[in-house]
Amino acid sequence: MSLVLRNAQRAVAVRRAPLRRAVCALRASLGASRFHLALVCAGNGLMRRLNGIYRRCPTPTDVLAFPAHPLRAGELPRPRPGEEEEDNNLGEIFLGVEFIQEQCKESGEELHGVLVV
């Protein structure tokens, strides 16, 4: 299924192709490649706003996930019989790449290596 990858920030240069390959490999290994997924690379401002709205903690963070369907911890999504293909949506994941880059500078790690892990 589709993977929408959007870079909604300008603070950090993001290598989209390796990130796309890593996310596609992860979805395949989890058996979720039949699901749609949106991945947004966000700056600290957007992450701060989202975190404030949904978690009442207006600080930037590394990742926020908004699943399309409720799942229990450790549960993997499965297509439901009779469901239309467009209903197979995992949801949205926001990567705080600016925040992650700051963490990488502190720890001496390379951003693009961390993103694809």
**DSSP-based three-state secondary structure for 5:** strand
Q: How many domains does the chain have?
A: 1
Each residue of 1-24: pLDDT tens digit? 799 999 999 999 999 999 999 999
Count CB-CB contacts under 10 A for residue 7: 17
Contact (Cβ atoms closer than 8 angstroms) between residue 47 and residue 30: no
Each residue of 46-55: pLDDT tens digit? 999 999 999 9
Is residue 40 in a domain? yes
Is residue 46 in a domain? yes
Is residue 78 in a domain? no
CATH code of 50's domain: 3.40.390.30
Segments forming the whole domain that contains residue 55: 3-70+86-115
- pLDDT at residue 86 in the model: 63
Q: Which amino acid is present at 39?
A: L
Distance CA 19, CA 111 (A): 11
Is residue 81 in a domain? no
